[in-house]
Amino acid sequence: MKTILSLFACLALLLSGCKSPETTAYKTIATTAQLVDKSMLAWGDYVRAGKATADDEKRVKAAFEIYKRAETSAQRTVYTIKTAPNGQQDWVTAVSVLTANSSELFSIVHQLTTK
């Protein structure tokens, strides 16, 4: 879990550079989505191998749906970075929720696939 959080912290630093806040935000969302996609591909392999229970599948599906809502919220928040009075703070909150939810999904998939 600490490795995942460290990855997101490094990602944020690497992406910030001289780019606009919006560019950095979109790259953060896209990179998170790529990591989730890879995790879900591994999960799909695990399910196809017949190793997942119905409860396992429900648990991962629920975590994925929560992550997707956070991703959608983060995407919408990008528009407020420059336009809303609290846009920057709204983005910080949205990316924190996105990170927490994607980390939870990674954790669940890892826990289930390594038992």
Rounded Cα distance between 115 and 28, Å, is 30
Q: Which domain holds residue 32?
A: 2-113
Residue 46, pLDDT score = 97
pTM of the model: 0.81
Residue 4, pLDDT score = 55
Residue 7, pLDDT score = 54
Residue 71, pLDDT score = 97
Both tokens of residue 105? 């999904």
Rounded Cα distance between 115 and 111, Å, is 6
Contacting residues for 19 by C-beta, under 8 A, at least 6 apart: 27
Number of domains forming the structure of the chain:
1
Both tokens of residue 71? 């991703």
Q: In tens digits, what is the pLDDT along the chain, a chain of 115 residues?
A: 445 545 555 555 455 555 788 898 999 999 999 999 999 999 999 999 999 999 999 999 999 999 999 999 999 999 888 888 888 899 999 999 999 999 999 999 999 999 7
Residue 75: CATH number of its domain: 1.20.120
